[in-house]
Amino acid sequence: MRPLMRLSVLLCVLLLAVPALAEPPTACGLLTPAQVGSALGLAVNPGKPNGPNPMGQSMCFFAGKGTRVAGYAQLTLTLPPPKLRKNLPASRLFAGARSHTPEAQPVGGLGDQAFWGGTGAKMGAGLHVLTGDYYLIVDTATGDKAKDLAAAKQLAGLALKKLK
């Protein structure tokens, strides 16, 4: 009887440890090219990954297909703090970005907090979303500012489903 009890305890411990052994999410693992292309309204190449870096950030860049790049989407995912950033949680990074983005517009219905920093090659551009210990930025460019925000919201909603 004792060996059976030990085996049961060991199985319980192993089952509890499995989530801790899982690979952390990456920006490129959150969306498919089909999802990005649908949101942008154009075909895109597979995402090009970058990271994760020592600060716990990974990026994924989806470029429009063809000789004339008509648009793109870039995701930046900041994971819960690694050792190098232990005193700088995602919430603090998010608040810092918002305070340095004067044109930040609050966006409801996504994560714990979200804001739109506009579009274009500028500091703070994109849709910034804080959800739990994750900080996600979705930057889109289609040439139409209203479409960029709509596409970023759609992509953020899809990405957030994978972070739960």
| Average pLDDT of span 94-104 | 91
Q: Which helix (H) or strand (E) holds 114?
A: strand 113-116
Q: Which residues pair with 113 in a beta bridge?
A: 130
pTM given for the model:
0.83
Domain boundaries, the chain: 25-162
Query: Which is nearest to 53 in space by CA: 27, 20, 92, 89?
Result: 27
Angle between the N-to-C axes of helices 145-162 and 33-40, in degrees from 0 to 180, rounded to the nearest 10? 150
Question: 39-57: b or e for each residue (b if 16 or more CB lie within 10 Å)?
Answer: bbebebbebeebbbeeebb
Return the pLDDT at 151. 96
Name the more confident of 81 and 41.
41
Return the pLDDT at 117. 94
**CATH 3.30.410 holds for 25-162:** no
- Confidence band for 154, pLDDT divided at 50, 70 and 90: very high
CB 133 within 8 A of CB 17: no
- The string of pLDDT tens digits covering residues 12-27 is 444 444 444 567 788 9
Query: Which is nearest to 40 in space by CA: 155, 129, 157, 120?
Result: 155
User: Furthest-apart CA pair in the chain: how many Å?
Assistant: 71
